[in-house]
Amino acid sequence: MRVALQGRRVRGWVVAVEVAPTADVALRPLLRVTGLGPSADVIGLARWAAWRWAGRTVHFLRTASPRGVVAGLPPVPATRLEPAASEGGSHDELLGEALARATSVLRLPPAAPVLPLVLEAARRGTTLVVAPSSAVATDVAAALRRSGMPTALVPGEWARAAAGARVVVGARAAAWAPAVDLATVVVLDEHDESHQSEASPTWNARDVAAERARRAGARCVWTSPCPSLEALAWAPVLAPSRAAERSGWPVVDVVDRRREEPLRADLYSPRLVTLARATGTAPADAGAAASGRLVAVLNRKGRASVLACSACAELARCERCGAAVAQGDDAILGCRRCACRRPLVCLACGSTRLKVLRPGIKRVRDDLERLAGVAVAEVTGASGSEPVDAPVAVGTEAVLHRVASASVVAFLDLDAELLAPRYRAAEQAMALLARAARLVGGKAGGGRLVLQTRLPGHEVVQAALHADPARVAAAEAERRRLLAFPPTTALALVSGAPAEAYVGGLRSSPDVEVLGPASGRWLVRARDHRRLCDALAATPRPPGRLRVAVDPLRI
């Protein structure tokens, strides 16, 4: 609705009725009722989320509201339940077991479809499905409709959801969508970081979904090929038989680069070059593994991130600040620390011939085209959305979202992911491999991952090789406990102009520990979220732009 506030017409929500005003409050009439908004249970959920992610309730009320005005609700066809089209076998049993519990984590291998779970849940009552992306949500909604299930795809079909669609599905904001007589909440790929908002409040749809189910007395199932440690702490994990899980992961070639003679510093193992050549030469009917596309992943943009002079061997560094300079798209060296730029020239001897010590994807594209003799496309998050049709595609991890299918995904420098200086690096690397595994499919279809590494014994490599993601969780849980990182603790990252004053206030709380500052940011740590969020809420916020990121993912 609209209300008059300080001379302006302001949007508002009715969050309670039959409230007696206190003596100092003068009542005013509403200007206008605009349309339907979130229901009482979702308003309660918004208040909880404001506490849990140190944000404002109004932020979540906006997320929970329809995009346009919804004045009335459309009719929704009654759900006709047909007998379950059982595929038979242990998979049905596994789904039944997951839906028999209040909370469960279902570890499904990358190639396993999620539709059987959603259909089985929908047979038991209204089901809310939170997908990791709009693309996945759209696919799931289309498949549900083909099977005759009354479905609302949100945010577009908010009204249909509120009218009582049997399944409500959408990306992150779907955790807030209307659902009548909610019976089951399903979160797909719970480990996926896209469930969490990058802007603060940094709320996570997975956790909102779980809290919503708990409040509604509904069951909640999280699925993932590689459940996060948060998931393992939340509910028991149900997994298919070892044989079923293994067949749902691709073949994994571990290319141990320490064994190559001579020891090579480049990114192109003989195995990789052979596979890339095969994409161009095999006839179209040679089977998916031989004729399909090869996708090469390297999380380094531009042409080179480290160069040295070919004449005097001096490293190319920034003349102002001394950091290594990188070469992007053009013949310019740029400093990523201070943004200083100069032409491609050695400062020590004046030579213009520089050698690439650490190539980026632009250089890799040229090299692979030459080595394999096939067309190679370059894909980054910034490239457009036109389809990629070259037999080989090279890109940052964004390429895994841009290419519709591939028969081989090769990680050119997996060690850069495994050794990334972030506390979640191992889980993030595992999630990348799971994403790639889904692109190439399971063993039966000939899907293949190629992992170029000097750490073949690393638990992430071993987990992919043996289709056993529990290996990562076991090693990682121990490290987190030793380092006092989540989920054994709860963290918030505080930054912005008034951050110092704010953490000054937090220091007086006995329940939290303040670390930092590092790069103008403070880390606030507590034993659990109750202590952390209570302390954040109880500490007055100084004026100015304060950013509080609860559960930061990339530190």
Q: Which residues in this chain contact Zn ion in the complex, by CB under 5 A?
A: 309, 311-312, 314, 318, 320-321, 323, 335, 337-338, 340, 346, 348-349, 351
Closer to Zn ion by Cβ: residue 335 or 433: 335
Give which of 278, 203, 151, 174 is closest to 270, Cα–Cα.
278
What distance in Å separates the CA atoms of residue 531 and residue 526, rounded to the nearest whole number? Answer: 6
Q: What is the DSSP letter of 498?
A: T
Please give the Cα distance from 396 to 489 (Å, whole number). 32
Buried b (16+ CB within 10 A) or exposed e, 165-176: bbbbbbbbbbbb
Between residues 45 and 309, which has the closer beta carbon with respect to Zn ion?
309
Cβ burial of 28 (10 Å; 0-12, 13-18, 19+) is exposed
CB of 357 to Zn ion, least distance (A): 14
The residues, any chain, with a CB within 8 Å of residue 125's CB and separated by 6 or more, are 181, 182, 183, 184
Give the nearest distance from C-beta 344 to Zn ion in angstroms: 12
- Which CB sits closer to Zn ion, 273 or 345? 345
- Output 185 or 306, the one with its CB closest to Zn ion: 306
Gap between the Cα atoms of 469 and 234, Å rounded: 17
Report the alpha-carbon distance of residue 518 to residue 431 in Å, rounded: 28
If you search the block for the tokens 């202590």, which residue do you land on?
Answer: 531
Nearer Cβ to Zn ion, position 233 or 321? Answer: 321
Taking the complex as a whole, the smallest distance from the CB of residue 334 to Zn ion amounts, in Å, to 9
What 3-state class would DSSP assign to 166?
coil
Q: Provide Rg for the chain, Cα atoms.
A: 26
**Residues 342 and 335: beta-carbon distance below 8 Å:** no
Instruction: Find the shortest distance in angstroms from Cβ 305 to Zn ion.
Output: 14
DSSP 8-state secondary structure symbol assigned to residue 257: G
- 323 is written with which tokens? 């950091």
CB of 316 to Zn ion, least distance (A): 9
Alpha helices in 451-491 (DSSP H): 459-465, 470-483
For Zn ion, which is the closer residue by CB, 326 or 467?
A: 326
Choose between 266 and 319: whose C-beta lies nearer to Zn ion.
319
Whose tokens are 């099977």? That residue is 147
Neighbouring residues of 475: CB distance < 8 A, sequence distance ≥ 6: 426, 459
Nearest-approach distance from CB 363 to Zn ion, in angstroms? 20
| Least distance (Å) between residue 299 CB and Zn ion | 22
The span from the CA of 11 to the CA of 3, in Å, is 7
On whether the CB atoms of residues 491 and 551 are closer than 8 A, the answer is: yes
Residues 6+ apart with CB under 8 A from 30: 1, 2, 3
Nearer to Zn ion, 340 or 416 (CB): 340
Q: How far is the CB of 330 from Zn ion (least distance, A)?
A: 18
User: What gap in Å lies between CA 2 and CA 13, rounded to an integer?
Assistant: 8
Helix axes 470-483, 425-440, angle to 10 degrees: 160
Q: How far is the CB of 324 from Zn ion (least distance, A)?
A: 9
Q: How far is the CB of 468 from Zn ion (least distance, A)?
A: 45
- C-alpha separations of 54 from 64, 244, 425, 551 in Å: 17, 42, 25, 11
Query: Residue 154 or 309: which CB sits closer to Zn ion?
Result: 309
* Exposure of 502 in the CB half-sphere (CA atoms within 13 A): 28
Which of residues 311 and 523 has its CB atom nearest to Zn ion in the complex? 311
Q: Which is nearer to Zn ion, 310 or 405 (CB)?
A: 310
- Cβ closer to Zn ion: 57 or 351? 351
Least CB distance from residue 226 to Zn ion, whole Å? 38
Instruction: Provide the H-helix boundaries in 54-149.
Output: 57-64, 90-99, 115-123, 134-146
Q: Which residue, 71 or 313, has its beta carbon nearer to Zn ion?
A: 313
Query: Least Å distance between CB 345 and Zn ion?
Result: 9
Closest distance of CB 328 from Zn ion, Å: 15
Give the list of residues 6+ apart from residue 303 with CB closer than 8 angstroms, or none: 327, 328, 329, 356, 359, 360, 362, 363
